[in-house]
Amino acid sequence: MAERHLGQRSKKGAERWKKHFERQKELHRQIKAAAGEDILKSRNFRTTREHIQHGNMTVNNHCMNVAKYSLAFSDKLHITCNRKELIRGALLHDYFLYDWHDEEHVKLYRFHGFRHPGVALKNASQDYRLTEREKDIIRKHMWPLTVVPPMCREAWIVSAADKWCSLMETFHMHRGHGALLQKLRTKREEEGDR
């Protein structure tokens, strides 16, 4: 009886895991379709893999998560929006292209929360052709810090997804490769000193 019960539980667990895996695969497919050719393959976007965001996450992991959660929020809440712009804005919302924990950015660090949306927008505008919605997403994602509220639903969704992901990362509920990255960086620096 107990064995049968355990068997049913593990079967349910496997089904849940399979469903989650399929969902993640589908979100990935949508992100790739919306931004695979230019953003995901670009050299600058790839450098975000070397920068730590919160806790153990790289900026790249964080932006991918924000894109996934933005899609998930809009689905769950049945909010009709432009999914392509939602994804692209989410991927580029933290396109500031520096590590805000680095010593050379220590002055910026204090004002990072206020300044980085503007820096991200400037960088993204140089590298990609942005729509007005995508610009609004990047510019306003830190609202209310940025005072002026988002002007489109896509920007509201990304702002909410960003806050959710940042909270999860800060409390290590979302885990990335930041610690591994730090180890590799330290090792590289030590090798350089020899």
Q: What's the CA gap between 86 and 24, in Å, rounded?
A: 17
Q: Give residue for tokens 């002007």.
A: 151
SS3 56: coil
Which CB atom, from 81 or from 92, has the smaller least distance to Fe ion? Answer: 92
Residue of the chain from 156, 162, 178, 181 that contacts Fe ion (CB under 5 A): 162
Site for Fe ion in 51-80 (CB under 5 A): none
Site stretch for Fe ion (CB under 5 A), options 36-44, 145-153, 155-163, 169-177: 155-163
**Residue 47 has which token pair?**
């450098």
Which CB atom, from 61 or from 74, has the smaller least distance to Fe ion? Answer: 61
Site for Fe ion in 84-113 (CB under 5 A): 94
Closest CA to 35 of 80, 84, 74: 84
SS3 58: strand
Residue 147 region by backbone torsions, left for phi larger than 0, else alpha for psi between -120 and 50, else beta: left
Which CB atom, from 170 or from 182, has the smaller least distance to Fe ion? Answer: 170
Closest CA to 66 of 50, 80, 78, 48: 48
DSSP-derived letter for residue 26 is H
**Least distance from Fe ion to the Cβ atom of residue 190, Å:** 31
Which CB atom, from 21 or from 114, has the smaller least distance to Fe ion? Answer: 114
Site for Fe ion in 16-45 (CB under 5 A): none
**Residue 179 has which token pair?**
């610690």
Site stretch for Fe ion (CB under 5 A), options 36-44, 70-78, 158-166, 169-177: 158-166
Residue span 132-151 as binding mask against Fe ion, x where in contact by CB under 5 A, dash where not: --------------------
Which CB atom, from 67 or from 81, has the smaller least distance to Fe ion? Answer: 67
Q: Where does this chain bind Fe ion (CB under 5 A)?
A: 94, 162
